Structure 1
Amino acid sequence: MEIMRSGHVGRWAAIAGALLLTGACTQATGLAGVSAQSPSTAPATGTPQVTATIPTPSPSVEHQAAEQPPEGEDPVKVPPPKLSKYTYTFPVKGCQTTYQRKLLVLPKTTIWAGQGCAFVAPIGGVVDEVNVKNKWRPSTDAGADREGRFVTIIGDDGVRYLGGHLDSVADGVKPGVRVTAGQLLGRVGRSGNARDTGPNLYFAISWKTGPSFWWVRRGMVEPWDYLDAWQSGNRTLSPREETLALRGKLGETPRCTVQCSSKKVANDDRPEPQTGDDDTPGVVTIGPSPTP
């Protein structure tokens, strides 16, 4: 019995030892040669691997200010400088206009405007000359008649202003009558040698002379710079100094040099047909007015 008991004990001891050996091997190598180490565990190396994320820098306050300038206030409107004590207005009122800005034949300008547009006094003054009758004929082309119906005034600045090619002269406009800037003097038309053109205003700047020196009233001072100023810039820009200087240089009654002669009248020449108020008496008259 003892021998058998010893044999059983030895056999159990051998089985237990085998089991212990198998567990140790399983912990070391795993099953089928596969490592028992957790796959989530990174293998140890000599140099640790570091992954760095560089953040994008946010713009500074100065940088944002440079990209987005601060909003400014509304601009302050500054009136143009006052260049004289006189105030002017553009001589055509209430209509769209265009006009020449260069010297063609005479130092005057043609202001293109619609038929019947208002010709107004560019400055306050006194009416000097009025012609209500269109006496121009193409057969003679007399210089004194080229403007057809016209009105001139002597402004408070001492300068004479002419508006010609009028369709009509306003009621009550006659020599010696006092007018204010912007007051109606007549209506734009095609009288005189503008008969075959579009309606326009013949506008000229000069100084006061007698009616026999008609070439002076037709224009002595280039007007477009003043028209530009009165229309969209400085309404106090005055032609007074330029006009007085030129009159001092040329004299009050310089001789005619441009478009002075008339055509010879043919034997069978007949008057041009008259329309409107052309059949009413009309003469160029001179009224009392100051001199520049």
Structure 2
Amino acid sequence: MQRGGNRVSSMAGVAMTLAATLMASGCATGPEPAAPVWQAGSPGSSAIAPPSPSPSVTASPTPSSSPSASPSASASASKPAPSKSAKPATYTYVFPVPGSPVSYHPTHSAYPATDIFANCGNPVLAVTDGTVVEVSRKDEFVKGRPDGPLNGGFFVSLVGDDGVRYYGSHMSLVDSGIEPGVRVRAGQRLGNVGKTGNANNVCHLHFGISPACAEAGDWWIRRGAVWPAPFLDSWREQGGASPVAKVAEYTQANGCPKAPY
């Protein structure tokens, strides 16, 4: 009996030694506890579910809607925008002789011009913004001797900002301060209607429109190259008809011709 009891004690000791060895090596001696399962709202659980692992995906770059992200848009942005077509310049025009009675003919003898009939002393106005280029305050005309340079008596010519020359002659007075090189505005007073020069003793303003060929001295062009009546008709009604195109046509066809005599 004692011998059998010693065997049992010995086997028990061996079992205890084996269990201690397994525990020291990190291996569990019993069933492994199951991993905790998360349930929304369960006591002790977090308010946010733990993220589940998602498959690894390589996203392809998406084009940006910004103009700088597109090479073509960026290139076009670096180029200067095409300029818009410039609008034709506009000018203000004024009828040259205000007041009443005032009249004029659509035609003129020998060359394109017109005579604006008005009382002596009526004001003469600049028909547009521009620069005075020629002034006469002398009346050296001798009746019976045709002399182009002296036919106008007292006169003023100016070149408008539109590039057209405007001429008024037979004046009785040219205002002080009206000199070559002086800037004038549309409607500014230049002097008075008169009958100096070859005016046949009739108060009127000889009015001519021409290209500014030599600006001064070319009396045969200065006296008139384009018919003024259609433009005077417009200006008298506060219209804006411009002689620029007609003067350009004349210049293209004739240039700046020499004096007739």
TM-score with structure 2 setting the length = 0.63
Cα deviation for residue 94 of structure 1 reads 2.8
- Displacement, 1:187? 0.5
Letter in 1 for 2:235: W
8 A contact 1:160–1:208 mirrored in 2: yes
Q: Is the 8 A contact 1:109 1:223 kept in 2?
A: yes
Aligned equivalent of 1:256: 259
Residue 210 of structure 2 corresponds to 206
Matches within 5 A, 1:91-106: 91-106=96-111
Mapped to 1, the partners of 2:156 and 2:123 lie a distance apart of 13
CA contact (8 A) 2:130 2:184 kept: yes
What are structure 1's unaligned runs of at least 5 residues?
Answer: 1-82, 261-292
> Following TM superposition, by how much is the alpha carbon of 1:93 offset from its aligned partner in structure 2, in angstroms?
2.0
Bigger relative contact order (CA 8 A; separation at least 6) = 1
Please say if residues 132 and 181 of structure 2, whose CA atoms lie closer than 8 Å, have aligned partners that are also in contact.
Answer: yes
Aligned runs of 1:99-118 on 2, under 5 Å?
Answer: 99-118=104-123
Match of 1:138 in 2: 143
1:125 equivalenced with 2:152 (yes/no): no
Q: Which amino acid aligns with 2:126?
A: A
Question: In the alignment, which residue of structure 2 is the partner of 1:150?
Answer: 155
Q: Structure 1 residue 233: deviation in Å?
A: 5.4
- What's the CA shift for 1:84? 6.1
Summarize the alignment of residues 152-167 of structure 1 with structure 2, pairs less than 5 Å apart: 152-167=157-172
Q: What CA RMSD, in Å, does the superposition of the two structures yield over aligned residues? A: 1.8
Give the Å deviation of 1:122. Answer: 0.2
Residues of 2 paired with 1:95 and 1:239: CA distance? 25
Aligned length: 174
Question: 2:21: which partner in 1?
Answer: none
Change in CA separation of 1:104 and 1:139 when aligned onto 2, cut-off 3 Å: closer
Amino acid at match of 2:245: E
Mapped contact 1:122–1:182 kept (Cα < 8 A): yes
Q: Distance in 2 between matches of 1:220 and 1:204?
A: 7
Q: Is the 8 A contact 2:132 2:157 kept in 1?
A: yes
Q: Which runs of 5+ in 2 are unaligned?
A: 1-87
Q: TM-score, normalised by structure 1?
A: 0.57
Large movers: runs of 4+ above 6 Å: none
For residue 193 of structure 1, give the secondary structure of its aligned residue in structure 2. Answer: coil
3-state SS, counterpart of residue 216 of structure 1:
helix
| Letter matched to residue 254 of structure 1 | P
> Contact 1:84–1:238 at 8 Å: present in 2 too?
no
Structure 2 residue matching 1:92: 3-state secondary structure: coil
Amino acid of the residue matched to residue 258 of structure 2?
R
Find the aligned partners of 2:186 and 2:238 in 1 and give their Cα distance: 17
Q: Give the Cα–Cα distance (whole angstroms) in 2 for the partners of residues 148 and 86 of structure 1.
A: 29
Deviation at 1:90, TM superposition (A): 0.1
Paired letter, 1:256:
A
Aligned residues with identical type, % of pairs: 39
Q: Deviations over 1:58-113 (max 9, x none)?
A: xxxxxxxxxxxxxxxxxxxxxxxxx9611100001233210011243210000000
Which SS does the other structure have where 2:198 is aligned?
A: helix
The 3 A distance-change label for structure 1 pair 221 and 167 is same
Residues 21-71 of structure 1, C-alpha deviations (whole Å, 9 max, x = no match): xxxxxxxxxxxxxxxxxxxxxxxxxxxxxxxxxxxxxxxxxxxxxxxxxxx
Can you list the C-alpha shifts for 1:222-249, whole angstroms capped at 9, x where unaligned? Answer: 0000000000252x11001110121121
Amino acid at match of 2:98: K
Contact 1:148–1:166, Cα closer than 8 Å, also in 2: yes
